[in-house]
Structure 1
């Protein structure tokens, strides 16, 4: 089954604090491994409450898995940051666009970012508006009423959503790559979480 998330879905993942924090671990884990290279013994012995506690200096498998989980999630987030259309990244809804006081002309850079055919859409809106005007003029002669209001061609809402929907499926290769990296990253993290859960359960069972 092919998983093909849209940019709006990937934004919900990429903007989470959990995914954003993974960049730190891609640097932290190798530094820890490098530090352990200078420790000659494979185990360090700590004395805690008159009990010896051995700590392995070799990289545990779960840490290796966690490193690759962080790496895939960080790479997926990097693709999202670089390739997600600006209109999706900055304005998930029309309300957020309006709240920033943006008008029709501010859609220009977003249009250029995804190579959207602005001229074709403007012609379609103008043509639809002309049909409404013509219908009103024609029906007035026979005393009927047309309830459909005329279109304000300067209202950005007529351009925002078509552009938003176009951008949501733009760059399919990068969307699928980003999706794949996120899936692999979360899968590896899930394995680590299950390993740690099993270790805790096993420890508790052994103590009973």
Structure 2
């Protein structure tokens, strides 16, 4: 599309040709939006909120938060972790029989009753990372779909960038 105008008795024109397809940007943003939606809905809360143990500890969170993350994640649709799995997983870290004081970490047992367990502070890092890795591997299919949509979005942007570079080079070479 060309717009012509007269200025001081001289005709001038501006070419309004866009060298790229706006639809590529639309599809890129659509793919990014779908990928982000999958991430927000399916990614366990522990993974979204804590990237490391130091982040977790800097917010003043306790072992109870880790157990809450496990139980919250098990309640999601399509979760591979059941309440029994969580109970057995936490029981591996339970040191109640070795300590006089009963610690206050509550977990739902098989009868859906809250039971107290004690997780030693020396096992805190190990418990955090094993839980983190367990939850990180929980929704693999969702992670694959998220990756695919982000990859498609980047592909659309990359194609548009290449088209723009070639168009600019063509204009530059033709001008010289």
Same fold (TM over 0.5): yes
Contact 1:121 1:159 in 2 (8 A): no
Residue 173 (structure 1) aligned to one of 114, 133, 141: 141
Residue in 1 that maps onto 2:104: none
* Shift in Å, 1:162: 1.1
Counterpart in 2 of 1:183?
151
Distance 1:158 1:64, change over 3 A: same
Give unmatched runs, 5+ long, in structure 1: 1-42, 131-151
Q: Does 1:198 align with 2:156?
A: no
Kindly state the Cα deviation for residue 182 of structure 1 after the two structures are TM-superposed. Answer: 0.9
Partner of 1:4: none
Aligned-pair distance for 1:181? 0.6
- For 2:125, the equivalent position in structure 1 comes to 157
Q: Residue in 2 aligned with 1:13?
A: none
**Post-superposition shift, 1:122?**
2.9
1:45 aligns with 2:3: yes
Partners of 1:48 and 1:93 lie apart in 2 by 64
Q: Any gaps of 5 or more consecutive residues in structure 2?
A: 75-80, 99-117
Which residues in structure 2 correspond to 1:71-82 (within 5 Å)? 71-82=30-41
Q: Which moved more, 1:112-121 or 1:99-108?
A: 112-121
Q: CA offset at residue 45 of structure 1?
A: 1.1
Structure 1: how far apart are the matches of 2:6 and 2:44? 55
Decide which of 44, 52, 55 is 1:96's aligned counterpart.
55
2:70 is the alignment partner of 1:111: yes
Could you state the TM-score of these two structures normalised by the residue count of structure 1? 0.60
Higher strand share: 2
Normalised to the residue count of structure 2, the TM-score between the two structures is 0.70
Aligned length: 142
Q: 2:44 aligns with which of 80, 85, 99?
A: 85
SS in 1 for 2:13: strand
More helix by share: 1
Between 95-104 and 46-55, report the one with greater CA deviation: 46-55
Match of 1:9 in 2: none
SS of the residue corresponding to residue 153 of structure 1 reads coil
